Chain A
Amino acid sequence: MTTSSGSYFLWADFFRGRGRQKAQSAVEALRGNILFSTLSDRELEYLATRVYRRVYEKDESVFHQDERGFGLYVIEQGNVAIKTKTPKGEVLVTTLGAGTFFGELALLEPDNIRSASAVPLERSVLIGFFKPDLLEILERKPGMGVKLLLQLSMVLGKRLLETTERIADVAG
């Protein structure tokens, strides 16, 4: 039995090939995300060795509100519902699709408490990026770390502005 490349399937480096494929798809998913859009190809490849690609089934919780959290998740495939608990019950805050991310506050907040729950609406592939790896990047590749923090600050600033405008709308 031969593969398309001509080598025998049994002797092909099956796992390495799969690993490389996964890494490449992680690089592509990261490249398309605003947080990592300023990174060079080399930096993206380095980042791909520092992130964790995980598959979640439908309704399998990524994290719960008030749990301790340690990082953010980029959605490579699928849709994730972000929900929050209110006195009236659980409320859907938003639904996020491929290319977006959530949980970024855990990267920066010292107490690491999740402010909402995240539940996939279908089978989803998520890329986790956690605080120890951000700290390691800042230590080993400070230039790359600064780019990441700058983008993260920009996103958080934008979200703060949007929230302020919403509150002003509600109050007004």
Chain B
Amino acid sequence: MLPDKRLRRDVLRLLVVGAALAGISAIFFVSPVLSGPLLLSLVASLLLSPMVAAMERRGLSRGGAIGAIFVAITLLFSALGLWAIQSVVTEWAGFKENAPLYFNGLLDGLIGFERQWKARYPFLESVHFSQTLLAWGQNTGKWFITHGPALMGQILTFVLVVPLFTFGILKDGRTVQKKIYELIPNRFFESTFMITSRILASASDYLRAKAFEALLVGLLTSVGLVLVDAPYALILGIIAGVTNIVPYVGPFIGAIPGLLVVAFDPAQASRPDLLWPVGLVYVVANVIDMGIIFPLVVAKLVNLHPVLLIVAVMLGQEYYGLVGMLISIPIAAGLKIVIQEIALAMEVGQGSS
């Protein structure tokens, strides 16, 4: 039998490797310049990975498959995608142009509402929520003006860096992963390998399922808005799809722009009854999502108790806001895998003793 000295050495080595990896990750994730593009690249590489696998199945090398996908994406964005981008840009331009009108309409409505309530309940005299909202709107506007150039710079960095990082992760991710496994001591290697493989598989399944869910919700919302003849159906559908990625509150956030547009767009003044059908479109899209898409596509993969899901999302929100809500579920699923593996190992250990 080997002396305990070896066990101590292995544990120490594992801790050093863990600390080194945590330190390197911290450099990447604490620095906002790197963390945003890196997270987005990780998500993009996980989403593109099944396409790479499908092309490898057809006999292409991994490098060839990744290259072909990148060329296809570039062509899609520059040729076929131009039409979609153009229409979104047109809708966005109209939306942006009319946004102050919606804001003013909203403000007028609120001022009238405030007056009514203050006349009815004099103790509200000291509350000035219309003014507060106006101040918030002005401050937000100023923030965009002062931070606009920096924001554009950041977006440009994302556009340039994310494809590079994504290519790198897809091409050499496995090699890096293999190098890291080489540092793990023999006695911990197999279990570490299995746990990390399961966690990575679970996180990529979750992300793909969420992307698919967002696509379906966006599509349902856009089609619904077209059917009720609402304006900006495409852009509002995209907003609903993207915000739907955030668990629980996402669908509500996604519905706000559509409802505001219909309620306060002067162009829709002749159709005051449009608010209800548009509201119904959002409700139906989310009922289909909660009743069919989420249980069939996402919940099956995560396999966590609903209470645990809510607790995870609340904790994520508490510490990291919207991003925290987004990553809370895959992290909770990862923790579940670790606990499951430890429990199984203990069960096997007890059974054999």
Residues from 1 to 52 in B contacting A, C-beta threshold 8 Å: 1-2, 6
Are A139 and B201 in contact, with the CB atoms below 8 A?
no
Stretch at the interface among B107-115, B188-196, B245-253: B188-196
Are B53 and A68 in contact, with the CB atoms below 8 A?
no
Are B191 and A68 in contact, with the CB atoms below 8 A?
yes
Q: How far is the CB of A11 from chain B (nearest CB, A)?
A: 22
Q: Which residue of chain B lies nearest to A126 when distances are taken between CB atoms in the complex?
A: B186
Are A60 and B190 in contact, with the CB atoms below 8 A?
no
Looking at A52, A57, A69, A142, which has the most chain B CB atoms within 10 Å of its CB? Answer: A52
B181 touches A (CB below 8 Å):
yes
Residues of A within 8 A of B201 (CB): 132
B90 touches A (CB below 8 Å):
no
Count of inter-chain pairs, beta carbons less than 8 A: 61
Residues from 124 to 146 in A contacting B, C-beta threshold 8 Å: 128, 130-132, 139-142
- Please classify the interface of chain B as helix (H, G, I), strand (E, B), loop, or mixed, using the class held by over half of its residues: helix
A25 touches B (CB below 8 Å):
no
Are A60 and B6 in contact, with the CB atoms below 8 A?
yes
B348 touches A (CB below 8 Å):
yes
Q: Which residue of chain A lies nearest to B6 when distances are taken between CB atoms in the complex?
A: A60
Are B186 and A60 in contact, with the CB atoms below 8 A?
yes
Are A113 and B57 in contact, with the CB atoms below 8 A?
no
Residues of A within 8 A of B271 (CB): none
With an 8 Å Cβ cutoff, the count of chain B residues facing the other chain is 28
Are B57 and A140 in contact, with the CB atoms below 8 A?
yes
Q: How far is the CB of A30 from chain B (nearest CB, A)?
A: 16
Are B348 and A67 in contact, with the CB atoms below 8 A?
yes
Q: How far is the CB of B348 from chain A (nearest CB, A)?
A: 6
Report the bound CA distance from A65 to B352 in whole Å.
Answer: 9
Residues of A within 8 A of B187 (CB): 60-61
Residues from 76 to 133 in A contacting B, C-beta threshold 8 Å: 113, 128, 130-132
Residues of B within 8 A of A165 (CB): none
Residues from 33 to 80 in A contacting B, C-beta threshold 8 Å: 49, 52, 54, 56-57, 59-63, 65-71
Residues of B within 8 A of A68 (CB): 191, 194, 341, 344-345, 348
Are B57 and A71 in contact, with the CB atoms below 8 A?
no
Q: Please tell me which one of the listed residues A59, A69, A132 contacts residue B197 in the complex, with CB atoms under 8 A apart.
A: A132
Q: How far is the CB of A65 from chain B (nearest CB, A)?
A: 7
B149 touches A (CB below 8 Å):
no
Residues of B within 8 A of A57 (CB): 2
Report the bound CA distance from A162 to B191 in whole Å.
Answer: 32
Q: Please tell me which one of the listed residues A60, A63, A66, A130 contacts residue B193 in the complex, with CB atoms under 8 A apart.
A: A130
Q: How far is the CB of B205 from chain A (nearest CB, A)?
A: 13
Mask for B309-353, Cβ within 8 A of A = 1, else 0?
A: 000000000000000000000000000000001001100110110
Are A52 and B57 in contact, with the CB atoms below 8 A?
no
Residues from 160 to 205 in B contacting A, C-beta threshold 8 Å: 174-175, 178, 181-182, 186-187, 189-191, 193-194, 197-198, 201
Report the bound CA distance from A37 to B198 in whole Å.
Answer: 29
Residues of B within 8 A of A141 (CB): 56-57
- Whether A52 touches B189, Cβ cut-off 8 Å, given contacts A132-B197, A140-B57, A141-B56, is yes
Residues of B within 8 A of A61 (CB): 2, 187
Q: Which residue of chain B lies nearest to A136 when distances are taken between CB atoms in the complex?
A: B53
Q: How far is the CB of A9 from chain B (nearest CB, A)?
A: 23
Q: Which residue of chain B lies nearest to A130 when distances are taken between CB atoms in the complex?
A: B193
Other than A60-B2, A132-B193, give 14 A-B pairs with Cβ distance below 8 A.
Answer: A52-B182, A52-B193, A56-B186, A61-B2, A65-B352, A66-B348, A66-B349, A68-B191, A68-B348, A69-B190, A130-B190, A131-B194, A132-B197, A140-B57
Closest 5 CB pairs of A and B: A66-B352, A132-B197, A140-B56, A70-B194, A140-B53
13 contacts between A and B (CB under 8 A): A49-B178, A60-B6, A61-B187, A66-B349, A67-B345, A68-B194, A68-B344, A68-B345, A70-B190, A70-B193, A132-B194, A140-B57, A141-B57
Taking Cβ atoms with an 8 Å cutoff, the residues of B that contact A are 1-2, 6, 53, 56-57, 174-175, 178, 181-182, 186-187, 189-191, 193-194, 197-198, 201, 341, 344-345, 348-349, 351-352
Taking Cβ atoms with an 8 Å cutoff, the residues of A that contact B are 49, 52, 54, 56-57, 59-63, 65-71, 113, 128, 130-132, 139-142
